[in-house]
Amino acid sequence: GGASGSARPAATPGDNLSARTLLATATHLASGVVTLAFTSFLDAYPDVTVQIAMMGGAISYVTEQIELAAEESGSALPATALKRVYLDTGQSGRGPRGIALAAKVFGADRILFGSDSGPVATLGPTIASVKRTEIGEAEKAMIFSGNARRLLASKGVDLATA
């Protein structure tokens, strides 16, 4: 157990508790994306926009396997399934390789700049990660602000007058 009154268990010597915590979080976030994108859960709410923090956890890494399994079972997923959600570049989803993979799997038009600024003192690392991502400059501009502007405009928010 952890320290007296602590909700977090103590790590076993040599165990990387933070890595295990990130893995569990990535799994839970990916599970949420599966529910939202690959089921009828959002059908009753066609105007609702859903943004998943931290790049949707591990979803970009497992999407291909999910699609292949669906095809092999004879129930291929609709091509628009992933267009039902947005991902953001929050603190635990800010690595350049992860951003590049999400852009490839979901499309850069589905990624929003997110900060999760509570756990960190500066947005610098997240900004730097997007800048280092191996995607085009136009895609980076979409992530930094273009996608948010387009999304807000689709909801009737005019940033020019806001």
Return d(Cα 17, Cα 8) in angstroms, integer. Answer: 10
pLDDT of residue 162: 62
Cβ neighbors of 19 (< 8 A, separation 6 or more) are none
* Statement: the pTM of the whole predicted model exceeds 0.85: no
pLDDT tops 90 at residue 47 = no
pLDDT tens figures, 62-121: 989 998 998 899 988 887 888 889 999 976 667 899 999 999 999 999 999 987 666 666
Q: What angle do CA 63, 66, 70 make, to 5 degrees?
A: 140
pLDDT of residue 19: 84
pLDDT of residue 118: 61
pLDDT tops 70 at residue 2 = no
pLDDT of residue 119: 60
